[in-house]
Amino acid sequence: MNINKNYKNLEQSYLFSTVARKVSEFASKNPDKKIIRLGIGDVTLPLCKAVTEALHKAVDEMGVQSTFRGYGPEQGYDFLRTAVQKYYAKRNVELNLDEIFISDGAKSDLGNILDLFDKDNTVLVPDPVYPVYVDTNIMNSRKVIFADANGDNCFLPMPDKNIKADIIYICSPNNPTGAVYNKEQLKEWVNYALAQKAVILFDSAYECFISDKELPRSIYEIEGAKECAIEFCSLSKTAGFTGTRCGYTIVPEALGKLNKMWLRRQTTKFNGVPYIIQRGAEAVFSEEGQREIKENINYYKENAKVISDTLKSCNIWHVGGKHSPYIWLRCPNNMKSWEFFDYLLENAQVVGTPGSGFGRNGEGYFRLTSFGSKENTLEAMKRLEKILK
């Protein structure tokens, strides 16, 4: 047998695994030190009441003969797809149920979707961005080119007509920078994709953090997007499902064969998200669920403000945190990303994510997450002030 040699072209380990390994090495050498983790974007608030009640009810149903369920539809139960459909309809985006596919989260589908595309497509990825886009394409030996995101373009690269791309990734609100495209900017990307006959893979995992009503939360708010875009969303960050696992992917019928191909792929390689979890996810879209998750998002946004205020007081350049749970900062004293990571861990026992892990343009930057508890965020910022002011 021959192994997939493309794996040799990947970094030795996935960004967040490297961070976790470094932190656990530090922890074992310094067992008395309290480490505050503001690295990986993992939520800390528990699931909201509407969700846990629905989960309990579904567990009970599974223990009763008349309501027990075995295999479910691979693309998700109609009750959840209908809830997602209504959620989009509130923003005047009409979707057919057949266009909505329930997933176990955006990360898996962002990788799995590549099954539908030939290896010789050219992939355009913003830099810096969520590392899964690049890594999954390297695994398949696809050519990856980059759209530079930097301070000059407010971390929102725009299309360049002279560059030919077949698969385009967009993450808005952006992970890691927190930058959000407005409707006019997204329209330019849609026009570019249509002209190039390319597909946009739109990651909207952080859409719930958008507080400005004018900013688009779905690419389908842009005319023409259904003819060129697949959208991935997740309940991880919006409803605390990082450990519970549920999300949804929209593959519009206007994309032609791709919709049926995705169904074919999912029915072959996936057995669907558990019934119990889908009932919990359905509750996220109820009136009570929406109210409760908004409270949680506001809690994280207050943390983001605490982080931002502290960085301001330390004169550290930063963006994000307004429409996103992430704060993107320039490392002080021209430190490199991993250098600052070590410095913070050693001197303040605060963990963040090195910007260079998100791409070449992330070098010299650093990401902090607002997903910690309020107490830990306040404590971490106190420690930062002490060493950086």
- For the segment 130-149, give every residue that binds ligand MLT (CB under 6 A): 130
Residue 349 — left, alpha, or beta (φ > 0 → left; ψ -120 to 50 → alpha)? left
**CB atoms < 10 A from the CB of 360, how many?**
10
Task: Kindly tell me the sign of the dihedral angle through the C-alpha atoms of 86, 89, 95, 101.
Answer: negative
Q: Which is nearer to ligand MLT, 16 or 146 (CB)?
A: 16
Distances (CA, A) of 261 to 99, 117, 222: 12, 10, 24
Amino acid code (one letter) for 136: T
Nearest-approach distance from CB 30 to ligand MLT, in angstroms: 24
d(CA 367, CA 51): 30
40 binds ligand MLT (CB under 6 A): yes
Q: Which is nearer to ligand MLT, 42 or 288 (CB)?
A: 42
107 binds ligand MLT (CB under 6 A): yes
Nearest CA-CA partner of 258 in 280, 229, 287: 229
User: Looking at 36, 41, 110, 275, which residue binds ligand MLT (CB under 6 A)?
Assistant: 41
Q: Which is nearer to ligand MLT, 40 or 58 (CB)?
A: 40
Q: Which is nearer to ligand MLT, 75 or 136 (CB)?
A: 136
Three-state DSSP state, 252: coil
Nearest-approach distance from CB 31 to ligand MLT, in angstroms: 26
- For the segment 44-103, give every residue that binds ligand MLT (CB under 6 A): none
The string over 217-227, giving b where at least 16 C-beta atoms fall within 10 Å of a residue's C-beta and e elsewhere, is bbbbbbeebbe
Span near ligand MLT by CB under 6 A; candidates 35-43, 60-68, 196-204, 261-269: 35-43
d(CA 334, CA 342): 14
DSSP letter string, 122-173:
EEEEEES--THHHHHHHHTT-EEEEEE--GGGTT-----TTS--SEEEEESS
Which position's Cβ is nearest ligand MLT? 41
Nearest-approach distance from CB 327 to ligand MLT, in angstroms: 12
Q: Which is nearer to ligand MLT, 189 or 371 (CB)?
A: 371
d(CA 43, CA 248): 19
User: Looking at 175, 296, 324, 337, which residue binds ligand MLT (CB under 6 A)?
Assistant: 175
What would the x/- binding string for ligand MLT be over residues 111 to 130, using CB under 6 A?
-------------------x
Let me know how long the chain is: 389
Span near ligand MLT by CB under 6 A; candidates 25-33, 40-48, 62-70, 278-286: 40-48
Nearest-approach distance from CB 74 to ligand MLT, in angstroms: 22
Tell me if 341 sits within 8 A of 366, measured CB to CB: yes
185 binds ligand MLT (CB under 6 A): no
Q: Which is nearer to ligand MLT, 16 or 270 (CB)?
A: 16
Q: Which is nearer to ligand MLT, 99 or 203 (CB)?
A: 203
**Size of residue set near ligand MLT by CB under 6 A:** 6
Span near ligand MLT by CB under 6 A; candidates 6-14, 39-47, 303-311, 328-336: 39-47
Adjacent-strand bridge partners of 318: 329
178 binds ligand MLT (CB under 6 A): no
Nearest-approach distance from CB 249 to ligand MLT, in angstroms: 15
Helix axes 287-313, 374-388, angle to 10 degrees: 10
d(CA 310, CA 198): 42
d(CA 158, CA 154): 11
Span near ligand MLT by CB under 6 A; candidates 37-45, 95-103, 185-193, 327-335: 37-45
Task: Kindly tell me the sign of the dihedral angle through the C-alpha atoms of 180, 181, 183, 186.
Answer: negative
Span near ligand MLT by CB under 6 A; candidates 17-25, 38-46, 166-174, 215-223: 38-46
Span near ligand MLT by CB under 6 A; candidates 2-10, 34-42, 181-189, 211-219: 34-42
Residues found near ligand MLT in the complex (CB under 6 A): 40-42, 107, 130, 175
